Structure 1
Amino acid sequence: MDEEAHIEPYEGPAGGWGSLKSVEGILHREGRLVGGNAVLMKQNKHDGFACVSCAWEKPAVPRAFEYCENGAKATAWEITAKRAGPDFFAAHTLAELRGWRDHDLEAQGRLTQPMRWDPHSDTYRPVTWEDAFREIGVELRRLKPEEAVFYVSGRASLEASYMWQLFARLYGTNNLPDSSNMCHESTSVALPESIGQPVGTVSLTDFSQADCIIFFGQNPGSNSPRMLHPLQEASKRGVPIITFNPLRERGLERFTNPQSPAEMLTGRETRISSQYHQVKAGGDIAAIMGLCKALIEADDAGETLLDHDFIAQHTRGFEDFAQAARAADWAEIERESGLTRPALEGVARCYGKSKAVIAVYGMGLTQHRRGVENVQMLVNLLLLRGNIGKEGAGICPVRGHSNVQGQRTIGISEKPDLVPLDKLAEQYNFSPPRGKGLNTVEACEAVLDGRVRAFLSLGGNFLRAVPETAAMEEAWPRLRLSVQIATKLNRSHLVPAEVTYLLPCLGRIEIDTQRSGPQVVSMEDSNGQIHPSRGQSQPASEYLRSEPAIIAGLAKAALPMNARVPWDDWVADYNRIRDAAAETFPDIFSGFNARLKTPGGFPRPRAARERVWKTKTGKANFIAPAGLRADPDVPLKREGVLQLITLRSNDQFNTTVYGYDDRFRGVSGTRDVVFIGRNDMVRLGLEEGQSVALRTEADDGRERRVSGLQVVPYDLPDGCIAAYYPECNRLIPLWHHAERSKVPAAKSVPVRVVAEGGGA
C-alpha cells in the first residue's frame, strides 16, 4: 500500500465537479493546460480527431464539448509535453525499469527516436530507421512464417490495420491476434450464429426512441462516459433503465452533466438506473433465463407478451428454447443468479410492457467461460419480443478501444474464413495462407512452448494485458525477435527478446504530413459508424513516423518485391489505401473516400438491423445454453473459494494508468486493494484495511499470487470480490477462457484470500 493511500466512500454522482477537476488536473500535470483545452475542442468532431480511448459513437451534430473525463485524460496523456528520449534510456537499464510502476513508465512521456536493445548494457540505444528496418527484415526472412505473430492494438486506424494484415499475409501467416481476442471475441462468435452479423444492431439515434434499456456487465461511468448523455436524456423521458451488475457503479446510478451550467451550479443529479440488480459473477445466464421463463410462462397463461408473428416469420429454434425455459428450475435460477424470483418477474413485466428495448452489454458478459452463451441468451431475450430490427431496439455490445471493431472489419483476423482471401490473391497476385492463425490465447501458448520466435506489435501492451503474466514474462526472452511500435513506454517494452526494437510512431492526435500533404485516417465505432480523424497537434519529435510509414518500411525490408503492392504510394496518400480497401471489401467500403466526408460518418452494413438474417438457417436463431452457470468450472463448493472480478479504475483506460485515484469507488493514492463484501469479510475473518494476498484456486500445479492488497469493504454479492486489471492478470490461468471464443474469463477467477498481516 502507498503511504498516501486513502479510502473513503464516495457519495457524489458521476460527472459533476469531480470530472472537471480531474480533466484540468491531468492537463496541468502533462504541461498542456493552455493548448490542451483548445485541442479538446476538436475531439470527436467531424473536422477534428476521434478519441483515442473508447469506441462510443460520435454524433453527426456534436455538442460543444464532445469529450468525457476519460477521453480528455487519454488526449492529455498523448499530447503531453514530456519526452522519453535517448538520454532517459541511457540512464536506466531495462532491469531497473521493470521495477517501476505502470503509471510511472508511461508518465515519462512520448518516445522520440527508434531504439534497439543493447544486451551488454541492458539499455535501449538509438538506431536509424533505415538500419532498424533492414535488420528486422533480415531477422524475419530467417524465420518460418508460422513462427511470427503480428499483434495489433485497438487504437490502430483502419488504414494501418489494412496494411498490417496484408503485410502478415504476404509474409505467409494468419497469426493476427488483436485486442478483440481479449474482450469481445465472444460477441464475434455469438452474434453471427444468432443474428448473422458479428456486430450490434443499434445506432445512437435508437436511444432517443427506446422505451426501455437493459444493461448487463457494462460500466459507462468509467469505460464510456459520453454514453451517459443519451442515458440521461432517456431517464428524463421516464424510460426504465434496468441494470444487472455485481458492483453498484456510480455511472449507472446518478449523473450530473458537466456540460450543463444549471446542473453544475445547483448540484442537480439525474437518476440513471430505475432498477439495479446485483447479479452474481457468472450468474447472467441464470438471470436472463429467469426473465425468459417468466415471459414465456406468462404468455402460456394467456397474457400476450411474446411477439408471435415475429417469432414465426423471423426465427428458428423457439420451441426448443421455450421448453428449456419452462423446464428451468426457479430454485436453481435464484441460486446461480443471486437474485430472487419476484425481482426477475418484475423485470420481465417491465420488459413485457415495453415496445422498443435496447440491451447493452460489455465484458461483464463476454469474459466468462460461457461468455458466448451469455451473449446468445441476451439475444434470445430480445427475440422473444421482436426487439431486433426495429427503431429504438436492438443488441448493443459496447466495445472498448476506439477501433477494435473496425480492425476486424478490415481484415485483422486469425480466421481465414472471415477474410476475402480470393480477392486479396487476385488484387495482389500472391497465394494467401489458408490455415487458421493464432488468436491471443493461442499466441501465448505458442510463446510458452517455443513455437513462436518473433512477435511484432502494432501498439498495445501485450505482456501486461494477457493472462498468465508471470509465465509469459519468463518465456518472452526466449523469443528471437520483438518489434514494438508505440507512442509511450510500457512494460511490454522492458522484457526483451534476443533482438528487440522500440519504434516510436505518431499518435492519432498529431498532424500526419506525407508527400501529398496532411493525412486523414479513419476508424469504426462501437455501433458500426465509420469516422474520419484529422491530427491537430504538432508531432512530439521530428523522428516520429506514422504507422502506415512504419508498416511500409518493415514490409519492404522483409518481403520480396511485389509490383502490385504500392507501399510508397500508400504512405504518400492515404486515400489510396482506402481505395485499395474498398476494392477488397466492396460491400463495406465502396466509395470509402467520398463517404468519409459525411458528418457523423457512414454506417457499415448491418443486415440484422433490416431483419435480413445471414445465418445458416436464414433466420434469427434461439440458442439454448448448456447450463445456467456461466463459469461451471469455478470450484465454488470448496470452502473459502471466491470469484474474482477484474475491473478498471476511474483513472485508467485498458492497461494505461493515468493516476492512482478511483473516485467513484472512494480509493485514492493506490491500486493495491481488493473489494470484499461485509458478509465475506466476517465469514473469512478479515478486517478493513488488512493486508492480504489473492491466490488462484487451480489444480494445475502452478502458483499464481498477488500480494500486498488492502481489504476495502464494498457492496458486492456474497462470494464475489473485485480487484484491478491488469495487476491481477497474473491470477488468470491461460486455460481459463471462454469456450470457443477463447476470451480470458477475467470476470470470474477462482481465488482464495490469504491473510498477510494486521490492519492498515
Structure 2
Amino acid sequence: MIGGFMAKDETVHYDGPAGGWGSAKGIARIFAKERNSPAVLDTLRRQNKPGGFMCVSCAWTKPADHNPLEFCENGAKATLWELTPRRTTLDFFAKHTVTELQGWKDHDLEHEGRLTHPMRYDRPSDRYVPCSWEEAFTGIGRELKALDPKSVIFYASGRASLETSYLYALFARLYGNNNLPDSSNMCHETTSVGLKKVIGASVGTSVFQDFSTCDAIFFFGQNTGSNSPRFLHPLQQAVKRGCKIVTFNPVREKGLESMINPQSPTEMLTGKETQISCQYHQVKTGGDIAAVMGMCKHIFARDDEAKQRGRSVIDRDFVAQHTDGLEAFEQKVRTTGWDEIERESGLTRADLEAAGQVYVDAERVIGIYGMGLTQQVGGFDSIAMLVNLLLLKGNIGRDGTGISPVRGHSNVQGQRTVGISEKPELVPLDKLAAMFGFEPPRDTGMNTVEACEGMLEGSVKAFVGLGGNFVRAIPEHGAMEEAWTKMRLTVQIATKLNRSHLINGEVAYLLPCLGRSEEDMQASGPQTVTMEDSLSCIHGSVGKHKPASEHLLSEIAIVAGIAKATLPPNPKVRWDDWQGNYAIVRDLIEETYPDKFHDFNKRMFTAGGFYRGNSARERIWKTESGKAEFTVPEALSAAGFEDRDGRYRLMTLRSNDQFNTTIYGYSDRLRGIEGTRDVLLINPKEMAKLGLTEGQMVSLQTDIDDGRERKVGGLKVLPFALPDGCVAGYYPELNPLIPLSLHEKRSKTPASKAVPVRILI
C-alpha cells in the first residue's frame, strides 16, 4: 500500500528513481564543470574506506564491508568541489570590492574556487588585501586580548576533525568562555536535548548491523536520497530481505520511493527499480506528533484484542522494568479523538492504522528521523513521541532496533563528543582543569540563537568561525547582516569564499585552510585526522591530494597560531607539539574521555570505525527517573502556531544539487526542478483557491505580528505534491522569512520546517 499523495500528472516531479544513471550523470556534470584532473579519481577510490579519506559531506557511516566505490552522488560532488583546480587568488580580490561581491549568488562565490592566501579586510578600499600568517595571528590576538572573553563567539561548522574540535574548544575555555555554538544548534540540537531527556543518551542508539536484522523501519522528516544517499544501499538490502519501510514526510522524496543501485551492473542495464517504502504518508508539516498518536491508538486497540486471547502486543515486561510514565501516556492516547488526529496530521485514520499495523507485526523496529522533526517549535515532543512508539514494544536496546537520527555535516556529532558545547555540564571541566592547569569557565555559554540575539543587542563583539557559512545559514538575514557589521572582530577559517566572508566587522580576517582530502604535512610527517559518524563510530582519514596552495595551513595550525597570539604562556598547553603531531592530540582526547576513546591511536583505522558506545543501547537509562521515559505531548501539532485563513506552513528544503549552504548547481533533479532556486512549491488545489498559475511570480511574507516585516519576492509558482495548507521553498534563500524568535522551545533550534507565511500576489 502507498498512501496519501496527489496525482503526479498535475505537478512538477521526477519520473525516475533515485540513484541509477541520473546519479552517474550528476557526478559527471560536476566533474566536467570543475575541470577536475584524473588524479581526483584516486581520491574518490579511497573515499570512505578504511585507511582512506572520509567524505566531507554527510555523516552516514563508513561500513567495514564496503562497496568498490563507497561514495554517493553528493559525496562525489563535495570531493570534486573541494579539489577543483579553480583558485580565488589575490588578483580576484584586487579586481572586486566586497560590496560588489555581496551581489553575487552563493553558487558563483564558491565556484571561483579555493582560497589561496590569508587576507585582511581593508575598509577604506572595501577590498580584501593579502597579509602574512604572522600578521593575521598577531592582529587577531591583539583584538581578542582587548575584548571581554564573554563577548566573543567561537563557532564551529560540522566538518572540523575531532582533533581540531578538541583544541578549538580548549582554546575557547582557556580564553574564558563556553560560547561554542556549532551547526548542531541549527539542525539537531533538539536531538541532543530530547534524547538526553527521555533515554539518557544524546545520540541515536542504532548501529550499522541493526539495519540487516530489523523487520520494519519508520522514517520521519528525512530525505535520504539527497542528504545521505549511501544510506540507500542498506535500505535496499533490507527491503529485499523482507523489511517493511513506512515513511512520513510532507514531500514525496524519490530516495524513499524507489532506487536503482548505481553499483549494480544488472540494475543499471535492466533499469529494474527497488520500491523502498511500502507506505508513504504525506503528513502535514508539524503533524508528526498526531501521526504517531494515531499509530499508538491503533497499537493499544490491538493490544486490547490480544489480551482477550491471553497475549500482548505491548512488551509489558520491558515497560515494567525499563520505563516510567506509560499510564499517563496511555490515557492521553486513549482520550485523544480520531477527528483531532486526522485534522492535525492531515492523514486518514485508515492510513495511520495501516502504518500502526506494520509496527504491531514487526518484532524489531528502527525509527529514523531528520530535521523535519527537529526544526519545529514542538520538535522535542515530536522526537519524544517517536521514542514513545519504540518503547511500547521494547525497540530500544535490542539488536535490530533503536532510534536513529541521521546527521548532516560529516563530524557534527563528533564535535559535541569532544567538547564543542555551550553547556558546561556536558564537558569534563574538572579533568580539563587538572590536565592543563587552569580554571575553566563554569557558566553556560551562548548557542546559535543566543549569539544572534547578542549581536542584535550589541553585547557580542567578536566572532571566530571555524568553517561554515554562519551568516547565510541563520534566520533573520536582514537584521543579522546589519548587526554583524557592528562587531569589532570577525575571523573566518575557510576553504572557499562564501556570503559570510562578505559581511565583516570593523576588523576582519579570512584565513584559508587545507581541505580534508589534501595532504597535511607537519613536523612529525603526514597527519591523520578523525571524525564520528551518525552511528557513533570513529574513523581515521588521510588526505593525499596536493594542497591547493603552498600558503594554506591546516585547521589545527590556524587554531594554534591564534591561540598562541592570544593566551599567556602555560607549560601544560603545548600548541607547537600538538600542531606538529596530531597523535598527541588524540592522546589528550583519550585522557579526557577514556571510556569512549581508549586506545584511540591504535583503533582509529578499525574497519567500519570503532564504536564509542551508548548507554541507552545497553539499557542503562541516565535519566532523572533512571528509566526510559514515556512523555505526554503538549499539543498534537509541532508547528507552534494556529492555522488561519490565508496562512500557510512554509518548510525550507535542500536541493539535490546542494549540501547545506553549498550550492553545486541549479538542478534539483529528484524533484523535477531545473535552472532556478527562487521558487514557491504549492499544490494545485491551493493554487486554484488563490487563482495562481504555474510560472506566476509571487512574494512570501512572514505572518507574525512582532513589528518587523520579513518578505522574499521574485518566487516562481510551481505546482507540487504537498499537503493542503503547506508550501515549500529552498534554504537558505528563504531564511529571511524565519524569525529568530521562532525556534524549538527547549533546544532553540530554528524552526525552519514550519514558518507561518502569507502569499502576496
Asked whether the two chains share a fold, i.e. TM above 0.5, the reply is yes
Alignment of 1:93-132 (within 5 A): 93-132=97-136
User: Which residue does the alignment assign to 2:295?
Assistant: 291
| 2:83 matches 1:68 | no
User: Which residue does the alignment assign to 2:724?
Assistant: 718
User: Which residue does the alignment assign to 2:649?
Assistant: 643
Partners of 1:536 and 1:373 lie apart in 2 by 45
SS at match of 1:339: coil
Q: Does structure 2 conserve the Cα–Cα contact (< 8 Å) formed by 1:24 and 1:33?
A: no
Deviates more, 1:425-434 or 1:290-299: 290-299
Alignment of 1:548-567 (within 5 A): 548-567=556-575
| 2:237 matches 1:233 | yes
User: Deviation of residue 342 (structure 1)?
Assistant: 1.4
Partners of 1:387 and 1:9 lie apart in 2 by 36
Q: Does structure 2 conserve the Cα–Cα contact (< 8 Å) formed by 1:182 and 1:744?
A: yes
RMSD: 0.9
| Alignment match of 1:281 (pick from 285, 308, 323) | 285
- Deviations 1:116-159, CA, capped at 9 Å, x for gaps: 00001101010000010001000000000111000000000000
Q: Does structure 2 conserve the Cα–Cα contact (< 8 Å) formed by 1:48 and 1:536?
A: no
User: Which residue does the alignment assign to 2:17?
Assistant: 13
| Alignment match of 1:457 (pick from 461, 465, 484) | 465
Partners of 1:233 and 1:689 lie apart in 2 by 40
| 2:365 matches 1:354 | no
- Deviations 1:640-664, CA, capped at 9 Å, x for gaps: 1000010100000000000011001
| 2:444 matches 1:440 | no
Partners of 1:148 and 1:23 lie apart in 2 by 40
User: Deviation of residue 324 (structure 1)?
Assistant: 1.1
Partners of 1:548 and 1:415 lie apart in 2 by 23
Partners of 2:434 and 2:564 lie apart in 1 by 20
| 2:757 matches 1:751 | yes
Partners of 2:50 and 2:241 lie apart in 1 by 29
| 2:684 matches 1:678 | yes
User: Deviation of residue 586 (structure 1)?
Assistant: 1.3
- Deviations 1:36-67, CA, capped at 9 Å, x for gaps: 22210011011211100100010012110000
Misfit runs of 4+, over 4 Å:
none
Partners of 1:532 and 1:28 lie apart in 2 by 30
Alignment of 1:606-621 (within 5 A): 606-621=614-629
| 2:501 matches 1:493 | yes
- Deviations 1:679-709, CA, capped at 9 Å, x for gaps: 1101111111100111100100111111111
Deviates more, 1:33-42 or 1:674-683: 33-42
Q: Which amino acid aligns with 2:103?
A: G
User: Deviation of residue 745 (structure 1)?
Assistant: 0.5
- Deviations 1:544-593, CA, capped at 9 Å, x for gaps: 00000000000000111111011100011000000011111112112111
- Deviations 1:217-268, CA, capped at 9 Å, x for gaps: 0010000000000111111112110000001111110101111111111111
User: Deviation of residue 272 (structure 1)?
Assistant: 0.5
| Alignment match of 2:734 (pick from 705, 728, 731) | 728
User: Deviation of residue 600 (structure 1)?
Assistant: 1.3
User: Deviation of residue 33 (structure 1)?
Assistant: 5.0
SS at match of 1:727: coil
| 2:191 matches 1:191 | no
Alignment of 1:390-429 (within 5 A): 390-429=398-437
Q: Does structure 2 conserve the Cα–Cα contact (< 8 Å) formed by 1:27 and 1:36?
A: no
User: Which residue does the alignment assign to 1:483?
Assistant: 491
| 2:229 matches 1:222 | no
| 2:710 matches 1:704 | yes
Deviates more, 1:615-624 or 1:452-461: 615-624
SS at match of 1:395: strand
User: Deviation of residue 514 (structure 1)?
Assistant: 0.4
User: Which residue does the alignment assign to 2:6?
Assistant: none
User: Which residue does the alignment assign to 1:758?
Assistant: none
SS at match of 1:37: helix
| 2:594 matches 1:590 | no
Alignment of 1:220-369 (within 5 A): 220-303=224-307, 304-369=312-377
SS at match of 2:717: strand
User: Which residue does the alignment assign to 2:4?
Assistant: none
Q: Which amino acid aligns with 1:636?
A: D
Q: Does structure 2 conserve the Cα–Cα contact (< 8 Å) formed by 1:84 and 1:110?
A: yes
- Deviations 1:512-537, CA, capped at 9 Å, x for gaps: 00011100000000010010010021
User: Deviation of residue 598 (structure 1)?
Assistant: 1.4
Q: Does structure 1 conserve the Cα–Cα contact (< 8 Å) formed by 2:12 and 2:719?
A: no
User: Which residue does the alignment assign to 1:168?
Assistant: 172
**Where does structure 1 lack aligned partners over 5 or more consecutive residues?**
1-6, 756-760
- Deviations 1:299-356, CA, capped at 9 Å, x for gaps: 1343521000110111111111111111111110100000111111111111111000
Q: Does structure 1 conserve the Cα–Cα contact (< 8 Å) formed by 2:13 and 2:720?
A: no
Q: Which amino acid aligns with 2:515?
A: G
User: Deviation of residue 14 (structure 1)?
Assistant: 0.5
Normalised TM-score (structure 2): 0.97
Q: Does structure 2 conserve the Cα–Cα contact (< 8 Å) formed by 1:285 and 1:629?
A: yes
| Count of equivalent residues | 747
SS at match of 1:233: helix
Partners of 2:137 and 2:38 lie apart in 1 by 38
Partners of 2:291 and 2:720 lie apart in 1 by 22
- Deviations 1:351-395, CA, capped at 9 Å, x for gaps: 111000011000000000010111111000000000001111110
Q: Does structure 1 conserve the Cα–Cα contact (< 8 Å) formed by 2:290 and 2:637?
A: yes
| 2:683 matches 1:669 | no
**Where does structure 2 lack aligned partners over 5 or more consecutive residues?**
1-10
SS at match of 1:399: coil
Partners of 2:668 and 2:635 lie apart in 1 by 36
SS at match of 2:751: coil
Partners of 2:161 and 2:358 lie apart in 1 by 41
- Deviations 1:146-182, CA, capped at 9 Å, x for gaps: 1100000000000000000000000000000000000
User: Which residue does the alignment assign to 1:34?
Assistant: 38
Normalised TM-score (structure 1): 0.98
Partners of 2:665 and 2:33 lie apart in 1 by 11
Q: Which amino acid aligns with 1:254?
A: S
Partners of 1:194 and 1:622 lie apart in 2 by 7
Q: Does structure 1 conserve the Cα–Cα contact (< 8 Å) formed by 2:159 and 2:467?
A: yes
Partners of 1:754 and 1:42 lie apart in 2 by 50
Partners of 1:264 and 1:61 lie apart in 2 by 22
Partners of 1:30 and 1:306 lie apart in 2 by 55
SS at match of 1:302: helix
| Alignment match of 2:52 (pick from 41, 48, 54) | 48
Partners of 2:444 and 2:342 lie apart in 1 by 41
- Deviations 1:456-498, CA, capped at 9 Å, x for gaps: 0000000000000111111111000000000000000001110
Partners of 1:717 and 1:300 lie apart in 2 by 33
Q: Which amino acid aligns with 2:222?
A: Q
Partners of 1:471 and 1:533 lie apart in 2 by 40
Partners of 2:723 and 2:28 lie apart in 1 by 36
Partners of 2:536 and 2:193 lie apart in 1 by 17
Partners of 2:724 and 2:33 lie apart in 1 by 40
User: Which residue does the alignment assign to 1:386?
Assistant: 394
SS at match of 2:435: helix
User: Deviation of residue 298 (structure 1)?
Assistant: 2.4
* Identity percentage of aligned residues: 61
